[in-house]
């Protein structure tokens, strides 16, 4: 089983719908992250969490919200999806910030029509 | 502001033709520089961490080096299976301690 699991792997949704992307990890790491990846723009940080009680906005948090349900679970919600939120979304975990590598899930390909 | 720039954006090599990918960075207090490999539609896969200028790490045909301003990923005698996007990221000592990624180099190795 993968250390970082994302569900769903693919999703097509309509404009205005609420959608949740889920992430769970078995690494035992406190730090969890949500990134989106767009062609030519690289990986951009949406939200990050250092522990269950600590959630922070990244560089592109508008239109998104998150919930850290447990150390191992971190979900990303799009409250009212719009077409420019079509992207590849990745969840990641790390043991510490900045000095140790992040481990990524397999990604969720989200299409908003 | 912390920043990572990778070049070239894309690189096409013949099998066996060695080359290097560049990662230039600006960060306040480098805590670590990371190289990842990403295959299409998949999550980035960790390759190396470098912590200080002069450090080098190797894995099969890949070798990563680090200076105070940039890192190189050298690919020696590449094979078609080395084709992927290679991402560079830095971790700074700012309060957030998060990783900043470059946009990657798309490497294609032709047989």
Q: Is the dihedral of CA B95, B4, A108, A27 positive or negative?
A: negative
User: Which chain A positions have a beta carbon within 8 Å of B31's beta carbon?
Assistant: 98-99
Does residue A108 surpass a pLDDT of 90? yes
pLDDT value of position B16: 97
Q: Give yes or no for a contact between B103 and B25, defined as CB atoms under 8 angstroms apart.
A: no
Nearest to B90 by CA among B74, B107, B66, B106: B66
User: Which chain A positions have a beta carbon within 8 Å of B104's beta carbon?
Assistant: 42
Cβ–Cβ below 8 Å for B32 and A100: yes
Cβ–Cβ below 8 Å for A90 and B97: no
Cβ–Cβ below 8 Å for A102 and B87: no
Give me the residue from A40, A56, A98 closest to B99, CB to CB. Answer: A98
Separation in Å, CA of B8 to nearest CA in chain A: 12
Q: Given 3-state DSSP classes, what are the helix, strand and coil percentages for chain A, each rounded to the nearest 5? A: 5, 60, 40
**Rounded Cα distance, A64 and A20, in Å:** 10
**Rounded Cα distance, A13 and A93, in Å:** 27
Which of B5, B99, B100, B101 is the best mutation test for A, with the most CBs of A within 10 A? B99
Contacts 24+ apart (CB under 8 A), B63-69: B64/B35, B66/B33, B69/B24, B69/B25
Separation in Å, CA of B46 to nearest CA in chain A: 7
Cβ–Cβ below 8 Å for A104 and B99: no
Q: Is A72 helix (H, G, I), strand (E, B) or coil?
A: coil
CA distance between the termini of chain A: 32
pLDDT greater at residue A13 or residue B1: A13
pLDDT value of position B94: 63
User: Which chain A positions have a beta carbon within 8 Å of B99's beta carbon?
Assistant: 94, 98, 102
Q: Model confidence over A2-54: pLDDT tens digits?
A: 799 999 999 999 999 999 999 999 999 999 999 999 988 889 999 999 889 99
Mean pLDDT of chain B: 93
Q: Is the dihedral of CA A3, A22, A99, B51 positive or negative?
A: positive
pLDDT value of position A98: 67
Q: Give yes or no for a contact between B6 and B21, defined as CB atoms under 8 angstroms apart.
A: yes
Give me the residue from A35, A42, A109 closest to B104, CB to CB. Answer: A42
Give me the residue from B46, B49, B96 closest to A97, CB to CB. Answer: B96
pLDDT value of position B10: 97
Q: Model confidence over B55-97: pLDDT tens digits?
A: 999 999 999 999 999 999 999 999 999 999 999 999 876 656 6
């Amino acid at each position: 089983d993968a250390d970082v699991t994302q569900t769903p792997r693919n999703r097509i949704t309509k404009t205005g719908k609420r959608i949740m992307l889920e992430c769970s990890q078995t690494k035992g790491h406190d730090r969890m992250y949500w990134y989106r990846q767009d062609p030519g723009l690289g990986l951009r940080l949406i939200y990050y969490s250092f522990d269950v009680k600590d959630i922070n906005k990244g560089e592109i948090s508008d239109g998104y919200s998150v919930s850290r349900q447990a150390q191992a679970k971190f979900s990303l919600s799009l409250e009212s999806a719009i077409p420019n939120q079509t992207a590849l979304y990745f969840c990641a975990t790390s043991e510490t910030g900045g000095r140790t590598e992040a481990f990524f899930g397999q990604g969720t390909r989200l299409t908003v029509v | 502001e912390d920043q990572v720039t990778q070049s070239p954006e894309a690189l096409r090599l013949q099998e066996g033709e060695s080359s290097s990918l560049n990662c230039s960075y600006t960060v306040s207090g480098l805590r670590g520089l990371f190289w990842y490999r990403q295959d299409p539609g998949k999550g980035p896969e960790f390759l190396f961490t470098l912590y200080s200028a002069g450090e080098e790490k190797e894995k099969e045909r890949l070798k990563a080096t680090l200076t105070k301003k940039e890192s190189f990923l050298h690919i020696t005698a590449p094979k078609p299976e080395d084709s992927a996007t290679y991402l560079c990221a830095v971790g700074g000592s700012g309060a957030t301690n998060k990783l900043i990624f470059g946009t990657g180099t798309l490497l294609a190795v032709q047989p």
